[in-house]
Amino acid sequence: MKRGRSIQGKLRRRIVLVGLASFFVATLLSNLVWVPMLRSRALKTAKNGNEEITSRIDSTLEFIDNYSENLALSVQQNAAIQRYFAEPTASNQNIAMLSLSNLTSYEGIVRAVFLEMNDRPLLDSLSRICEADYELLHSQWYQDIRDSEFCRRLSRVYTVSINHVDYPTVAYARNFYLNNRWCTFVIFTSLNDTLYDVRTVGENNYDYFLLRDSTGSVFYTAGDETWAERTAAVGPEAGLSGLMEITGGTALTRRSVSSGWTITSFVSNSNILRSLMPYSLGLLMSLACLLLMMLIVLSTSLGKMLRPVVSLARTMDGAAKGNLEQKVEICSDDEIGLLQQSYNKMLDDLRRSIDLIAEKERTEQQIRFGLLVSQIDPHFLFNTLNVIQQMAGTESAYRTQALIMALSHLLRYSLMSNDEQVPLSREVRIVDEYYSIYHVRFGDRVQMQWAFSDSLDLTETMVPSFILQPIVENAFKHGICPKEEGGVVRIRMIPLREKGLLCIRVLDNGVGIEPEQLQQLRTALEQPAPRWEHIGIYNVAARLRLLDARCRVVVRSRPGRGTAVILYLPLVENEEEFEE
C-alpha cells in the first residue's frame, strides 16, 4: 500500500489555508467596515478644513468690525477731524485727512479708510487709494448704506493693483452716530494675508476649492484645475453646510453666517484613497503579523501535540512489518497517553496470542503425530482379535467371546481422530462396552449408573470422540478397584444452553485422592501437555483446551469418600432436528 502524506504536513497545509482564508476574510471585512469609516473620517477632515477656512475669514471680518468701532471712537476724540466737520475748509480738510491717515495703523489688513459725515465731503487716509475704491463709493451699494441709519455691510470682493501689487479687497461700511451727526466709515480691507492662510489650509485638504462672496461671485480659486468645472457646478445655494457626491469625488460647501461668503471644496476619490492608504497598509500589516503569529503558535502547539501520535504511527508501522518488541514511550496522561497505553497493551496481547497460537499448533502437531504412531497396522490387530473370537466360539467360551468383541469395539473407536465430532449416544455406548469388560472381571463390586436431562437428545448432541471413556476408566481404575467392597460410578449429563455448554459429571464413591496429589493434579491440568503413557485425564484436558477457551476440567475429591470430575464442553446440537 502506498504511504500517504503525514498528518503533520496535512495539518500544516490546512492551517496555512485556513490562515490565508482568514486573512482574505479579515481584509474583506475591513474593507467593508473600516474603509467606509476611514472615508468618513477623511471627509470629516475636509469638512473641518472648510470650517477652519470659514473661521479664519470670519476672524478677519470680526477684526475689521472691532477696528471700525475703535476708529469711530478715535475720530470722535480727534480735534482736527472734528474741526473739519465743523468748518469744512480746504486747510482743515488736509489736516483732517492727515490725522485720519495717522489713525490707520494696520497696514497689513487695512489698506485705506474713508469717512463721510452728513453732507460733508469725503475724507480718505491718503494711502493706497485707487480708482476702483472711488467707483465703489459712487455705487448704489454705498448709497444704500448712506440712506440707512444703523447699518453695516460688506461689498463684493474685487482686486486692485497698487505699485504692481494685487490686493484682493473687500470694503466694510458701517454707520456711527457721533456728536449728533451720522458718520459713515468705509474700511477697505486687504485679503492677501487671509487668503494665504486659506490657501495653506486648502492645499492640505482638497484637490480644488473656490471662495464666493455674498453676491455669489467667485473671487478666489486654488488647486488642480481639472476639477474646477465640477466644483463650480455646485452653487452657493447648496445650503449652510453640505456634502454632495459628484463624478470623481465629493464636494463640500460651507457658508459663513456673518459674511455670507461660501467655500466650495472638492476631494477626489483618488485623494481619499491616498489618505486611506497608510491606514489600510497599517491594518493589513497588523492583520498579517497577527495571523503569522497565530499560525506559528498554532503550528508549534499542534506539532507538539501530534509528536506522540507520529511516534505511535511509526511504531505501529514497525509492528506491521513484524517488530513486536518496540513499545511506545508514554509521555502524558491525557487521551494520547491512554492511546499509547492501549497500544502497548494490545502489543503485549498480540505477542501472547501469537505465542499461544504457536503453542497450540505445536500441541496439535504432537497429538496428530501420537495418533499416527498409535495407528500401527489396525487391520492386523482386528484380524488377530477376530481369530481369537472365533476360537473362543469354537470352544464355547462365550464370555471370552463377548469380552473380545467389546475390546474390538473399544480399539476401533480409539483409533478414530480425536478431533472428530460424534453423537453423544456413541460415546455412551463405548462407555457401556468398557463397563461390560470391567463387570466381567469384578462382577457386582463395580456398578455404573447414568442420569440424562430430559431436554438432551443423545443422538443429536455432538461431542469430541473418546472424550468420556478415559474419565470413566480413571474412576474405575483409581477410585473403585482399590476399594475392597467396590463402589458405584455415576455419570450425569446436563445441557447449559444459556451458556452454550454441556456439563458432564463423573462421580465415584471410591478411595478419593490425597490433598497433595489433588493439588499436583490440578496444577498439571492448568497447563496440560501430551503424554505418552497414562494419558487419561491429561489428554482430555489438552484436547478441551484446544477445542474452546470455555472448556475446562474440574476435579474435586475427598479421601475415603470419592472423586468428582466435571467436564464443560461446547453444546453442539443438530439445529434442524432440534428445531423440529
Section 285-313 average pLDDT: 74
Residues above pLDDT 70, as percent of the chain: 78
**pLDDT band with cut points at 50, 70 and 90 for residue 577:** very low
Tell which residue, 234, 226, 57, has the closest CA to residue 157.
Answer: 57
Cβ(502)–Cβ(460) below 8 Å: no
Handedness of CA 532, 537, 538, 540 (dihedral sign): positive
Query: What pLDDT is stored for residue 128 in this prediction?
Result: 67
Give the pLDDT band of residue 99 (cuts 50, 70, 90): confident
Q: Where are the alpha helices (DSSP H) in 375-423?
A: 378-394, 398-414
- The pLDDT, as a whole number, for residue 579 is 42
**Which of the two residues, 396 and 57, has the higher pLDDT score?**
57
Q: Provide the grid cell at 14.
A: 490546512
The mean pLDDT of 489-498, rounded to a whole number, is 93
For 419-462, the pLDDT digits (tens) are: 478 899 988 998 988 888 888 878 888 999 999 988 888 889 99
Split at pLDDT 50, 70, 90, the class of 304 is confident
Contact 109, 63 (CB under 8 A): yes
Strand pairing category for 552-558 and 562-570: antiparallel
- Looking up cell 511504531 gives 315
Q: What pLDDT score does 416 carry? A: 56
Give pLDDT, residue 487: 92
Question: Does 214 or 41 have the greater pLDDT score?
Answer: 214
- Residue 121: the pLDDT is 59
Given a cut of 70, whether residue 16 has pLDDT beyond it is yes
Nearest one of 5, 25, 23 to 15, comparing CA atoms: 23
| Mean predicted confidence (pLDDT) in 173-194 | 85
Cell numbers linked to 2: 502506498
If pLDDT is split at 50, 70 and 90, which confidence band does 42 have? Answer: confident
Q: Is 51 left (phi over 0), alpha (psi -120 to 50) or beta?
A: alpha
In this predicted model, what pLDDT tens digit does every residue of 343-361 receive, in sequence order?
778 878 888 888 888 888 8
**Grid coordinates belonging to 297:** 503558535
Please give the sequence-ordered ranges of beta strands (E in DSSP) within 409-445, or none if there are none.
421-423
DSSP state letter for 236: G
pLDDT category of residue 532 using cuts at 50, 70 and 90: very low
Mean pLDDT across the chain = 78
Weakest-pLDDT range from 130-139, 195-204, 226-235, 397-406: 397-406
Q: What is the pLDDT of residue 448?
A: 92
Residue-level pLDDT at 415: 60
Find the mean pLDDT for residues 263-273.
80
107 pLDDT band (50/70/90 cuts)? low
pTM: 0.48
Looking at the chain, the whole-number percentage of residues with pLDDT higher than 90 is 10
Q: What does the H/E/C string look like for 30-61?
A: HHHHHHHHHHHHHHHHHHHHHHHHHHHHHHHH
**What is the Cα–Cα distance from 365 to 240, expressed in whole angstroms?**
112
What's the confidence (pLDDT) of residue 567?
93
C-beta atoms surrounding 478 within 10 Å? 17
- pLDDT band, residue 184 (cuts 50/70/90): confident
Which of 119-128, 295-304, 372-381, 524-533 has the lowest average pLDDT? 372-381
33 or 366: which carries more pLDDT confidence?
366
